[in-house]
Amino acid sequence: AQSVAQPEDQVNVAEGNPLTVKCTYSVSGNPYLFWYVQYPNRGLQFLLKYITGDNLVKGSYGFEAEFNKSQTSFHLKKPSALVSDSALYFCAVRDIGRDDKIIFGKGTRLHILP
């Protein structure tokens, strides 16, 4: 069965520093990979996705993610963090080869320190 792991419950980064939020996945077929963000008391908002092609994908709010097939990872990155980036981030995977469900990780809380 497909699965997603976000090994860090929380990540703290000083404002202006680069940030990375980690995600690894397991699927039987080709993965579609996603990052979503959730601000307090809000629903989930789409950030970016990897379907095929360039391993580095760019998304909303200056975020990007790098797909690494050999390491089965899809880490979220941003060159310079903002305090407003503080939120809960979810990685998700869609296994095209199976029943087409989308499964989410447990989430990583990102704290940007002023």
Partner 1 sequence: NAGVTQTPKFQVLKTGQSMTLQCAQDMNHEYMSWYRQDPGMGLRLIHYSVGAGITDQGEVPNGYNVSRSTTEDFPLRLLSAAPSQTSVYFCASRNPEGETQYFGPGTRLLVL
Q: What are the two backbone dihedrals, phi and then psi, of residue 28, each rounded to the nearest 5 degrees? A: -90, -25
> 104 in helix, strand or coil?
strand
Nearest to 55 by CA among 35, 40, 38, 33: 33
Is 46 a binder of partner 1 (CB under 8 A)?
Answer: yes
What is the full DSSP assignment across 53-64?
Answer: S-SEEE-GGG-E
43: contact with partner 1 by CB under 8 A: yes
Is 75 near partner 1 (CB under 8 A)?
A: no
Report yes or no: 85 and 110 within 8 Å, Cβ to Cβ. yes
Cβ at position 17, least distance to partner 1 in Å: 26
Decide: is 59 part of the binding site for partner 1 (CB under 8 A). Answer: no
- Chosen residue from 7, 42, 56, 79 binding partner 1 by CB under 8 A: 42
Piece of the chain touching partner 1 by CB under 8 A; list 10-18, 19-27, 63-71, 104-112? 104-112
Does residue 107 touch partner 1 according to CB under 8 A?
Answer: yes
3-class SS at 85?
A: helix
Q: How far is the CB of 80 from partner 1 (least distance, A)?
A: 26
Direct distance between the N- and C-terminal alpha carbons of the chain, in angstroms, rounded to an integer = 41
Q: Which residues bind partner 1 (CB under 8 A)?
A: 6, 9, 32, 34, 36, 42-46, 49, 51, 90, 94, 99-107
